Structure 1
């Protein structure tokens, strides 16, 4: 699996990238907001995108809607510190596969990524 990691926090991006690499997968690139995420998705065509909810310029939900319009089968995992039931329901309705709440452990992240790899419903 090839990943695009999107988060406005450089620390969060670094941690997620480290986890992905530790699992043996490739990080194609990183983006710091939704606009950059869409641009990099079009250029790189990753198989998985991890995306933060709250970011400057364009939030994760809006960017995810656009990316899902381009490819309804793309695997998007929303990673956020904000857990509002309405936001989670909205994210899942538009096609986001999983919502992971920050902070999370490597073990939990690995478990969710392995489910994705096996084709299980996130």
Structure 2
């Protein structure tokens, strides 16, 4: 599975990269803004995007996710219960289990 990571905090991005690689998936790129998320999704055609909601720049993760539909997006966020995330898969950024992420990734790419 080919993954695009969208995270504007460098340490968090590296942690997510490490987890994705440990799951034997390929990290295509890591970007920090909603604009880059849209551009790189169109160029790289990932199977899945792992993104934060709050991003650097003018476009947030939710707005960008709507623009790259039907590419599946899983949000890794501090508050996965936000009403704006209704209809998206969202996991708590801190404290999720790796198997929980794997299951969410596999489910998102089967839809």
Q: Using structure 2 for the length normalisation, give the TM-score.
A: 0.86
1:116 equivalenced with 2:111 (yes/no) = no
Pair 1:64 & 2:53 matched? no
2:77 maps to what in 1? Answer: 80
Tell me how far 1:46 sits from its aligned partner. Answer: 0.4
Gaps of 5+ in 1: none
Gaps of 5+ in 2: none
Give the secondary structure class of the aligned counterpart of 1:16: helix
Alpha-carbon offset, residue 82 of structure 1: 3.0
TM-align CA RMSD:
2.2
Hey, what's the Cα distance between the residues in 2 that align with 1:109 and 1:76? Answer: 17
Instruction: Count how many residue pairs are aligned between Structure 1 and Structure 2.
Output: 110
- Paired residue for 1:102, among 87, 93, 111? 93
C-alpha contact 2:80 2:91 (8 A) present in aligned 1: no
Deviation (angstroms), 1:102: 1.8
Q: How does 1:13-24 map to 2 (within 5 A)?
A: 13-24=13-24
**1:31-68 CA-partner distances (Å, limit 9, x unpaired):** 10100111111110000100100112210001001001
The 1-side partners of 2:7 and 2:29 are apart by 12
| Distance change in 2, residues 1:31/1:120 (3 Å) | closer
